[in-house]
Chains A and B, each alone.
Chain A
Amino acid sequence: MRLVLGFLFALLLTACASPQVRGTGDLGLVIERASGHVTLVDTTSRQPYARIGGLGDLSHASAVYSRDGRYAFVFGRDGGLTKIDMLEAKVVKRVIQSGNAIGGSISQDGKIVVVQNYTPGGIKAFDAATLELLSEVPAEYAPGKFSKVVGLADSSGNRFAYALFEGGEIRVTDFSDSKQPTTQRFPAGLQPYDGLVTPDGRYFLAGLFGEDGVAMLDLWQPEKGARKILENYGRGQEKLPVFKMPHLRGWSVAQGKAYLPAIGRHEVLVVDVATWKEVGRIPVRGQPVFVMARPDGRQVWVNFAFPDNGKMDVIDTLAGKVVHAFEPGKGILHMEFTPRGENVWLSARDDNKVLIYDTTTFTRVGEIAADNPSGIFFTTRAARIGF
């Protein structure tokens, strides 16, 4: 009898300890870069619901999600890879996989997490369930010379595209056999600094720092090789100093046009995605860092490098110009739209706040306290190619 009672009691405890049943579609996390924390947030209530520490150096940290939106994989600067359960609000597993990392991606089938590393330069593939190392591909571009890896993006068929900063290459590594990956190499141009894949997974674009232009590879026909687009967009004019590198992930495409940050110019470049020709430029108030489209593509929001990182410009894609310019806070590092774009969340690092804006009225509808917030990542990324 005592045994039975004990068993019932244990059952009761388990029931009480279980989290409330809910989905994850309106959840997300905010990176608190200086203190190694992430704050978990609910975009419906616009409130935080948990805070998790011990994640190491989170400067330049980013996150991707498992396809069910339950687990976040956080990539830290110090090479830490942490798997977080968004529902139970706890760390499931954490490994230190390199000395200096810059981000990662998850495969189309959700089974492989790939991390891109600066030191030692290369990529590493991990089992998404266990974080066990599956394989690695060093970014050796010449005998004994290793490059920093930038712009890693997932594509179809468990292929990942990325670029080599020193190596000046675009690479495509196929993890169909996750323990025996195969890699194709394509010359890209001088100093690719970041990359992106288009929403359909077809094109990989690598922004070039060392020359005016963007290298592009058609992942449906990689045998055609990488080619340059937007060549000489600076037309030989002296570049303005770049106090922070633009980020390309966060790709903006709207009405058949792509919106990209110029390098060393206070402009957003507009490109026709059918011809990949430049069709316009929109002057903005600084060196763009993130140029991100609202999910419906009607607006493109732009934040800026130091010293203009307190400003935001909003481009109306129908009007083709900035229609709203404001100064929401200090040190605006990142932005993330709610799944259908009615709100945008901005991290104001130097105000220690995340600011929530209505994207129609541009009014502030909420804020959350956070310690030096940087990246904001919502679970909707789970279902998007290249996020």
Chain B
Amino acid sequence: MAAEPDAARQKELVRLVRQDCGSCHGMTLQGGLGPALLPDSLHDKPAEGLVATIYYGRPGTPMPPWKQFMSEAEAGWIVEKLMSGFPQ
């Protein structure tokens, strides 16, 4: 995985995930209109596919592409954190 985002950017990304991804996936990431994003629900999914889902979205579902708001490396950092337990 590429270099980690710096501390300030990490904070922004955490807030983005909790608040804005949270509109569909729930602030506690237990799912809503979108599926749960907890380690248990993601562990059998390949990380690369999850990164692509965040970055490019998923046509045919409400999942939009987030590429205008983050780099692919940052999407990778988010996936890594989601799979190991996302920070508050």
Name A residues whose Cβ lies closer than 8 Å to a Cβ of B.
33-34, 57, 59-60, 77-78, 100, 102, 118-119, 148, 150, 165, 191, 193, 209, 241-245, 306-307, 331, 349-350, 372
Q: Given A148-B33, A244-B20, A331-B19, does the pair A193, B28 have CB atoms closer than 8 Å?
A: no
Chain B interface, number of residues (Cβ within 8 angstroms): 17
Q: Given A59-B26, A243-B20, A245-B24, does the pair A77, B32 have CB atoms closer than 8 Å?
A: yes
Asked whether A100 lies within 8 Å of B19 as measured between CB atoms, the reply is: no
* Per-residue contact bits, chain B 24-39, to A (CB 8 Å; 1 contact, 0 not): 1011101111000000
Q: Given A77-B26, A100-B26, does the pair A60, B32 have CB atoms closer than 8 Å?
A: yes
CA distance A320 to B20 in the complex (A): 31
Closest residue of chain B to A57 (Cβ to Cβ) is B28
> How many A-B contacts are there with CB distance less than 8 Å?
59
Which listed residue (B26, B30, B62) contacts A193, Cβ 8 A? B62
Closest residue of chain B to A240 (Cβ to Cβ) is B64
The reply on B22 being an interface residue by CB < 8 A is yes
Whole-angstrom distance between the Cβ of B57 and the nearest chain A Cβ: 7
CA distance A34 to B14 in the complex (A): 14
Closest residue of chain B to A99 (Cβ to Cβ) is B30
Q: Given A243-B20, A243-B64, A349-B19, does the pair A59, B33 have CB atoms closer than 8 Å?
A: no
> Which 9 A-B pairs give the minimum distances between C-beta atoms?
A241-B64, A59-B27, A244-B23, A306-B20, A57-B28, A243-B64, A59-B22, A209-B62, A77-B26
Q: A residues within 8 A CB of B23?
A: 60, 243-245, 306
Whole-angstrom distance between the Cβ of B3 and the nearest chain A Cβ: 25
Asked whether B31 lies within 8 Å of A100 as measured between CB atoms, the reply is: yes
CA distance A216 to B77 in the complex (A): 43
CA distance A147 to B28 in the complex (A): 21
Closest residue of chain B to A242 (Cβ to Cβ) is B64
Q: Which of B4-54 contact A (CB under 8 A)?
A: 19-20, 22-24, 26-28, 30-33
Q: A residues within 8 A CB of B33?
A: 102, 118, 148, 150, 165, 193, 245
Whole-angstrom distance between the Cβ of A286 and the nearest chain B Cβ: 13
21 contacts between A and B (CB under 8 A): A34-B27, A59-B26, A60-B32, A77-B26, A77-B32, A100-B31, A102-B32, A148-B33, A193-B33, A242-B62, A243-B23, A244-B20, A244-B23, A244-B24, A245-B24, A245-B62, A306-B20, A306-B23, A331-B19, A349-B19, A372-B19
Q: B residues within 8 A CB of A241?
A: 57, 64-65
CA distance A191 to B38 in the complex (A): 24
Q: A residues within 8 A CB of B20?
A: 243-244, 306
Whole-angstrom distance between the Cβ of A17 and the nearest chain B Cβ: 37
